[in-house]
Amino acid sequence: MGRKLLLLFLLFSMTALSQDNEPKELFSQAIGKNIKKYTRLSQQAYMDEDFERAEFLFDSLINHVVNGSYLDNFKVRKLSGRKKELNDFDKPVFLMTYASWCTPGKGEIPALNEIAESHYKDIDFVVLFWDRKEKVKKVAGEYSRRITVLYVDEMENTHDHIVQTMKHSLGFPTSFFIDKDKRIVDVRRGALHHYNEEYAISFELNYNAFLNGISLLINLDELGDEGLVNKDNP
């Protein structure tokens, strides 16, 4: 009986070890297999002004391809010019990719600032601009000190595949919700139809959108893999 229990223990241990050693699919690998088809179909949908289909295609790409992959580690810069790696963040990460020429809704940044002030102890808040340092400095002051503002100058990263993939595959502004192991839990676009809204409406739309995504990361430890957004768990 003792030998059987020992054998079962060894089998379970070896299975668990094998699972731990399985290669993790990176974001760049997962999306690289599907991005050409997605881009072609989504561009056609926008040309046809079929915005409902365009959103369906985006959601399908995220739910079936991106979620569950692991964000590639790559180097970015702080406004001081010092380089930093994404893997330097130890907590779950809210990562918003942006560009200085994008016009945020009136309440978007205040809503994000308020969310960050409430949850910075549990979540690392990062806004990553695809732009030059000079342009990023002009807008960085609008963000809370609880938010880390970073930038990537693509002209300095012409041979960096992940920089090109993240910038050109999903567009921006786009929010990534990433657990502490750098696994992507969900990816969402900014709140829709808010650029011409009044401040109060814009704030509420963005606040609720940010909080909904942040809640995934806060509750992830309790839910385990069930917290991962996918086709069966929208």
pLDDT digits (tens, 9 = 90+) for 99-112: 878 888 889 999 99
Which residues, listed in sequence order, are joined to residue 186 by a DSSP beta bridge? Answer: 177
| Highest mean pLDDT, choosing among 43-52, 97-106, 149-158 | 43-52
54 vs 156: CA distance, rounded Å? 32
Q: In the chain, what are the domains?
A: 74-227 (3.40.30.10)
Contact 69, 159 (CB under 8 A): no
What is the structure's pLDDT at 162? 66
102 vs 58: CA distance, rounded Å? 20
Q: Using the predicted structure, report yes or no on whether residue 8 has a pLDDT greater than 80.
A: no
Average pLDDT estimate for 198-222:
85
Q: Using the predicted structure, report yes or no on whether residue 232 has a pLDDT greater than 50.
A: no
Range of weakest confidence among 73-82, 97-106, 157-166: 157-166
Which residue bears the tokens 């580690």? 73
What is the structure's pLDDT at 21? 53
Average pLDDT estimate for 188-198:
69
Contact 151, 76 (CB under 8 A): yes
Q: Using the predicted structure, report yes or no on whether residue 11 has a pLDDT greater than 50.
A: no
Q: How many CB atoms lie within 10 A of CB 110?
A: 18
Q: What token pair was written down for 49?
A: 């002004």
What is the structure's pLDDT at 101? 80
Q: How many CB atoms lie within 10 A of CB 160?
A: 15
Residue 117 neighbours by CB under 8 Å, 6+ apart:
144, 146
Q: What percent of the chain has pLDDT over 90?
A: 36
What is the structure's pLDDT at 86? 87
Average pLDDT estimate for 198-211:
89
Q: Using the predicted structure, report yes or no on whether residue 231 has a pLDDT greater than 60.
A: no
What is the structure's pLDDT at 171? 75
Whole-number average pLDDT of the chain: 80
Average pLDDT estimate for 29-43:
87
Collapsed DSSP state (helix, strand, coil) of residue 28: helix
Average pLDDT estimate for 41-63:
91
Q: Using the predicted structure, report yes or no on whether residue 195 has a pLDDT greater than 90.
A: no
